[in-house]
Chain A
Amino acid sequence: MKLLSELSIGERGKVTAVNGEGAIRRRLFDMGITPGAEVYLRKKAPLGDPIEIALRGYELTLRKAEAAHVEIE
């Protein structure tokens, strides 16, 4: 079990759980990061943070701290 923030570039995974609280969690859901969603780590920003993932056919960026709420298998 890994966290989304721990994926390397080019790795994929399936979301198993989304933790965190309140608005951030809500936002993650709204953008399609729900259990069962397939994600692919496209790239990381020049300083390693934020990261860019591809899911459900589009590109999303989020910070490592926010990605750390997402559990991946």
Chain B
Amino acid sequence: MLKFALVGNPNSGKTTLFNALTGSTAHVGNWPGVTVDKREGTYKKGDTPVDIVDLPGIYSLSPYTPEEVVARNFILEEHPDCVINIVDATNLERNLYLTTQLMELDVPMVVALNMTDVLDKRGDRIDVKTLEKRIGFAVVEVSALKGDNVEKLMDRAVEAVKTPRKGTSVLKESALGSAISNAEIALRLKEVEAPLFHAIKLVEKDAIEVAAHPAEARAAQAFIRENLVNDAFHGDTEAAIADARYKYITKHFSSTLTRARKLDYEELSKSDKADKILTHKWFGIPIFLVIMFAIFHMTFSENFLYLGLIPAFGEWCGNISESVVGGIFFSKGIHSPGIVLFNAMELLTDQIGEWLALGLEGLQANKVIVGFICDGVWGGVASVLSFLPQILVLFLFFSILEDSGYMARVAFMLDRIFRRFGVSGRAFMPMIMGFGCSVPAMINTRTMADEREREATVRVIPFFSCGAKMPILLAVSGAIVQAFGVGNADVITYSMYLLGIVTALVSLLVMRNTTQRGEASPFIMELPTYHLPGFKNLMLHLWDKAKHFLQKAFTIILISCVVIWFLSNFKWNWQHVGYITVGDEEFAHTDLSILASLGQFIQPLFTPLGFGSQLNSNGWVFAVAALLGLIAKEDVIAAFGTFAACLATSFAGVSEDGVSEVMIMIQETGIGAPALISFIAFNMLTIPCFAAVAAARGEIGKGKFKWTLLFWVFTSYLVSTIVYTVGQFVWPVAVWIVVAALTVVGIVLYNKYMDKKDAEKKRKSREEV
């Protein structure tokens, strides 16, 4: 089957075209580096099916970041039958720069000229026929977004495959033309594939080429030195070639573009006007902070518009809160959309739980089996389900931010600040993605050039608490407020998110000054035009996320609950633990179970964190729950859900929501508020779920990975201990401050020492050259 590669600049519409061709729904974002690995699909609408590969967006074939290497290597090594070069018509010159490099390969090519409809709106026009003639292969106007001419494009591409194509270059008549020809001949003698392409890269002093063909490289440079009269670039072939390419493009290619009005940068496009405010010198960052706050507020806040402060309104709300729409109102005002949906979901899961219990008891099923179904399975899964709405709301807001192109602006504004922590503004994108799920966030770091900076970023991504950790946050903070009457659930939630961010920044600072030293990667980035995310697209994403969450809940989490239930309801001799009666309720005697004994075994490990030996004999639930988080972070609350029914000795009518279940844990173990907060902190910062661990391992490399695991364990343990000891006893603050001071001094000294060593190394290598 034929195999075509889609190549083009980031944001040129490549992935949109891929979706149109293959019918997939691969994500299209509006910041550089959305596609960081290749995607494959099949085009089935033509006569012959064709394999389509969507490569990461690249600006040139001399790779600068890991993602660009993927694209280059694919074209050079996998020999696609045709390369479809997608060119953004609204950004012609820069897009064609890549085209001039692609054409140097021995592969059939077709240019897909995208977004000509946007050009038309401005009144600009490209003379496609002339462009086609000058380029030397087919140029097809398409609209990837609307799907216009996509079939025509594929037809021309299939046509092109029939005639094998030899590379051509716009540099043949430039000053370096003869040097290139010589190199080409030399490489052809060496039987190198695509000799023209490699010859030009050689003359350009591309590192990979020079390493592969050192003799030819030297010969080329010697030739240039002797024969080039009037060399304005003084032997700097790299600059000469880049210059020659653009000069050719301007003269022969972009001259086919006629603008309705002369290009005037002072004229602000809509996008530029938006930027005037959003990236304003003084207001830019505050606006960003407000937007962040608004997003979290709409997801988590119970007191939404603070309308309750108006007494009359507050009273009215209080009255209604008793009624059916009690989910929306409460005694002091209105709930935020996130909370409203949460309450609705809770009602639903509670109801189902009740029906299940009643139904099964009505059928007179065995007590143990009823326990298994109602408490073990449904109890666990339901406690997680009720958090789905809030996860979706947060996800929706972040998707809008990402798709609109705003994220690139924020990276731009924050770069200077980020650099103080040793990372470039680029790291901002993966971090924000981490709030959704760590896995794609870690993969997205591939756009960062400096390997050590990238590793450091990958390590701290789990600290940006992903959606799966939200149930832990919400359930425990809600329970703290209810059980101890302290504080405000949303304040605790925000502080925990903040704690994650602060820990990440401090970790970055430490790492970049100790084990991951290096320069922050360069920050040369395109700012794509803003565009409103399509409603349909957004809904598709949301649905996708919801689907995956439900899938996860009813598979992994469900199985985990089954296992947990068995382990907590059976003794080592495979007998059921039996029941104890308290009042007129019967509860499983979990103390005797397998899980309890295992739990009690590891319980002491968590003593410095507040949920270890200082708790009573039921205290093992926290240790076990935290451990279960390795499977999936939602399992922590799901575990509580399963335990709750077994442990509750005085809580009548267990409701299937995370908060009440944590309340039961509190009651039955005697845990206090500081330890609970420490518990949240531990789960936020410790080793993430297996999937994230696998992703991190893939990005960091198997050999070095153990340090990352160690880092996670150490950091979570340390921070949680600090939180607990300071929260519970206050005086340890002094101790920690001393420890921190000593560490800072140690790091500064280490840094000075390493700086000296680095300077010496540099001097030595310069002497060698």
Contacts and interface: CB of A to CB of B under 8 A. Distances in A.
A12 to B, nearest CB: 7
Nearest to A41: B265
Contact of B238 (A25, A46, A56, A57): A25
Given A30-B64, A61-B524, 18 more contacts: A23-B522, A26-B62, A27-B64, A27-B522, A29-B60, A30-B97, A34-B239, A34-B245, A36-B246, A42-B265, A43-B275, A45-B415, A46-B279, A50-B412, A52-B279, A60-B524, A61-B526, A63-B522
A34 B272 CA distance: 24
B261 interface: no
B523 A34 contact: no
Given A18-B239, A29-B238, A54-B265, A42 B272 contact: yes
Contacts of A40: 265-266
Nearest to B408: A61
A50 B416 contact: yes
7 contacts: A24-B522, A26-B62, A29-B242, A36-B246, A36-B247, A45-B284, A62-B522
Contacts of A42: 265, 272
B94 A63 contact: no
Contacts of A43: 275-276, 279, 281
A63 B238 contact: no
A8 to B, nearest CB: 13
B238 A27 contact: no
Interface in A16-68: 18, 23-32, 34-37, 40, 42-50, 52, 54, 56-63, 66
A57 B243 contact: no
A57 B279 contact: no
Contacts of B91: 56-58
A33 B411 CA distance: 22
B263 interface: yes
Contact of A26 (B238, B284, B415): B238
A61 B93 contact: no
Contact of B524 (A10, A27, A46, A57): A27
A45 B279 contact: yes
B417 interface: yes
B523 A63 contact: yes
Interface of A: 10, 12, 18, 23-32, 34-37, 40, 42-50, 52, 54, 56-63, 66
Given A30-B97, A45-B416, A12 B522 contact: no
A46 B282 contact: yes
A25 B425 CA distance: 19
B285 interface: yes
B449 interface: yes
Contacts of B524: 24, 27-28, 31, 60-63, 66
A43 B524 CA distance: 15
A45 B413 contact: yes
A54 B246 CA distance: 16
Given A32-B93, A50-B416, A61 B243 contact: no
B516 interface: no
The binding surface of chain B is classed by DSSP as: helix
B527 A59 contact: yes
Given A28-B524, A32-B246, A57-B90, A50 B238 contact: no
A23 B64 contact: yes
B525 interface: yes
B137 interface: no
A52 B527 contact: yes
A35 B243 contact: yes
B549 interface: no
How big is chain B's contact interface, by range? 35 or more
Residue of B245, B247, B281 ringed by the most chain A CB atoms within 10 A? B281
A66 B426 CA distance: 15
B566 interface: no
B74 interface: no
A66 B523 contact: yes
B542 to A, nearest CB: 30
Contacts of A44: 281
Nearest to A58: B91
Interface in B403-425: 412-413, 415-417, 425
B62 A30 contact: yes
Contacts of B415: 45, 49-50, 63
A59 B246 CA distance: 17
A66 B522 contact: yes
Contact of A47 (B64, B90, B417, B526): B417
Given A23-B522, A36-B243, A57 B412 contact: no
B223 interface: no
B711 interface: no
Given A23-B449, A50-B425, A30 B412 contact: no
A53 B558 CA distance: 53
Nearest to B425: A50
Nearest to A37: B246
A69 B180 CA distance: 28
Nearest to B88: A58
A18 B243 CA distance: 10
Given A18-B239, A30-B60, A61-B525, A56 B281 contact: no
A-B interface, 3 closest residue pairs, ranked by CB to CB distance from nearest: A29-B242, A40-B265, A30-B60
A46 to B, nearest CB: 5
B523 A50 contact: yes
Interface string B105-124: 00000000000000000000
Nearest to A65: B522
A35 to B, nearest CB: 5
Nearest to B525: A61
Nearest to B232: A35
Contacts of A31: 59, 94, 524, 526
Given A34-B243, A45-B416, A60 B525 contact: yes
B64 A58 contact: no
B171 interface: no
A58 B62 CA distance: 21
B92 interface: yes
Given A26-B238, A40-B265, A59 B281 contact: no
A18 B238 CA distance: 11
B467 to A, nearest CB: 30
A57 B93 contact: yes
Residue of A18, A27, A54 ringed by the most chain B CB atoms within 10 A? A27
B523 A62 contact: yes
Interface string B53-65: 0000001101010
